[in-house]
Amino acid sequence: MPPAPRIRRSRRTKIIATLGPASSTPETIERLYRAGADVFRLNFSHGTHADHAARIAAIRDLERRLGRPIGILADVQGPKLRIGRFAAGRVHLQTGQRFRLDRDPTPGDADRVELPHPEILEAARIGTTLLLDDGKLRLRVLHTRTDHLVTEVVVGGPLSDRKGVNVPDVPLAIPALTAKDRQDLAFALEHGVDYIGLSFVQRPEDVAEARAIANGRAWIMAKIEKPQAIENLDAVVALADCVMVARGDLGVEMPPEEVPLLQKRIVRTARAAGKPVVVATQMLESMIAAPAPTRAEASDVATAVLDGADAVMLSAETASGQFPYEAVNIMDRIIARMEQDPLWRNIVEASRPAPERSAADAIAAAARQVAGTLGARAICAFTTSGGTGLRAARERPEAPILGLTPSVETARRLAVVWGVHAALLPEPCRPDATVEEAGRVAMQYGFAAPDEDVVVIAGQPFGVAGSTNALRVTRCARPGTAAAAAAAA
C-alpha cells in the first residue's frame, strides 16, 4: 500500500455499507468509501458467488489505489424458516380461524399449508406462538402431532408463498450454519473477507462452530436477533470477536418496546468485554426511496452513537435504494455532529466500563489518562493481532487511536473498531525504534505536528500477540533532527 494515505475520518464511530444492485460498480463503491463507509457488507442471502467475487475485487483494488485498509463483512444467510406454497399463490387468514401446518408438499389453501421444518414440529407445544411474514400474522398452537400442527389465527391477514416463520417462544434444534452457509463461508474465507456475520445465533456453540471453520482467517460477528441469544448473551459475546444488534428479526421475535432496551444491553455487554459492537437494521430506512432521512431516523443513528456502538450499518439503503451515496453521507454527518457535542463526551466518560484485571487493560486505561492529562495528539497502539487496538478503543479516549500493525489482515479488521485509524508498518519494526516510529507515523498521517506529544503502547517482546505491557510518551521530532533520522532509518 502507498506509504502516505490522505483519507482520514473526522469521527470515531464507523459506518458499514451493504453492497447490492444499487452499489456494485467500482465507481459507486469508491464514492461510498469517500463519503464515509469504513466497511462493506456482502449479504449472502442475495446474489451469486460471481457477484460477490466482483465486489471483493473492486474493494481490494480501491484499497490498493487509496492506500487505506478496508474491511469486508460476509453476512451468511443462516437457517431461514419458511412455509410452502399456495395453490392460488396467496390466501387471507381470518382472525379466530383454525389453520394447519403440515409436512404435505401439496400447495396449500386457506385451511392449511406445508411447513417443511420438522424442527418446528418437534419443538412446538400447546400455546407456542408462530409469527408469519415478519410478524404480520400471529398463530397460536392448539394441538401438536408428529407430522402437523393445528393453530388458531390470533392476528390474521394476507399470506403468500414462502413467507418466513419465526418461533420466539422455544429454542429450535437447528444449527446456525446450513449447507448453503458452509459453501458461502468457504467462498468468503477463500476470498479473504475480514468478518463473518453469523445469523440467527442461539447458543455459544453456534459461535464456536463458526470459529472452528474460520480458524483465525476472519473475525466472527455474532448477530443477536433471537430471544435465545439474549438468554445466552454473556457466553455468546465471550466467544465472538464482534457483535451485531440485528434489530430486524429481533424486533419480530421480541415486543417492540423491548428492542431499545435490548440494544443498550447488548452494546453495554459487548463494550464491557472489549468486543466491537454494530447497531444495524432500518437506521435510515426511508432513504431507500427518499434523498433525506426522517428526523426520527436521524435520532436513531444519534442514539446508537450515544449508546457507544463501534459502528452503525446501512442495509437496503445502500444495497438497493435510490440514494446510496446520500445515505452514507448523511450518516457520516450525523455521527460527526454528535461527536462534536459536549453531551457526547460526558456520556462517553460516564459509561466507560471498569478495566479488567490485566496488564493490557491497565496499560490501555493509563494511556487514556496520560493522553488526556498531557493533551497528547494521539495514542499509538502497536498491535499484531488487533488486541492492543481493541483494548485502547474500549477506553474510548478523547485522543484518536493509531493502530500500528505489520499485518494487513489486522489493519482491515480494525476498520470496524471505534476510534481506530489503522496504519501498516514495515515488517518487522525494531523494538528499540517503536517510540520514534510512532511519532513519525503520527506526523505522516496528520495526527501530530513536530514538538507535539503522542502516547505509545506496545508489548515487549514486540510482535507477540497479547503481550501489551509498555507505555511511553514521545515528542514528535522535527524533520532533519537526529531523532527523526533514526525513526526513518
Identify whether 226 is a catalytic site residue. Answer: no
Distance (Å, whole) CA 103 – CA 142 = 17
Instruction: Please give the single-letter amino acid code of residue 158.
Output: P
- Name the pairing type of β-strands 468-475 and 219-224: unpaired
- The residue count of the chain comes to 489
384: annotated active-site residue: no
Distance CA 33, CA 138 (A): 41
Tell me, yes or no, if 440 is annotated catalytic. no
Catalytic residue among 55, 203, 223, 391: 223
Contacts of 91 (CB under 8 A, 6+ apart): 108, 109, 110, 113, 158, 159, 160
Set 31, 34, 60, 82: catalytic member? 82
Nearest residue to 56 (alpha-carbon basis) of 74, 68, 83: 74
Q: CA-CA distance, 394 to 12, in Å (whole number)?
A: 12
Out of 18, 281, 318, 383, the active site residue is 281
Per the annotation, the verdict on 281 as an active-site residue is yes
Which strands make up the sheet holding 98-102, listed edge to edge? 112-114, 98-102, 148-155, 137-144, 129-132, 165-166
Q: Select which of 12, 14, 41, 394 is catalytic.
A: 41
Catalytic residues: 41, 82, 223, 281
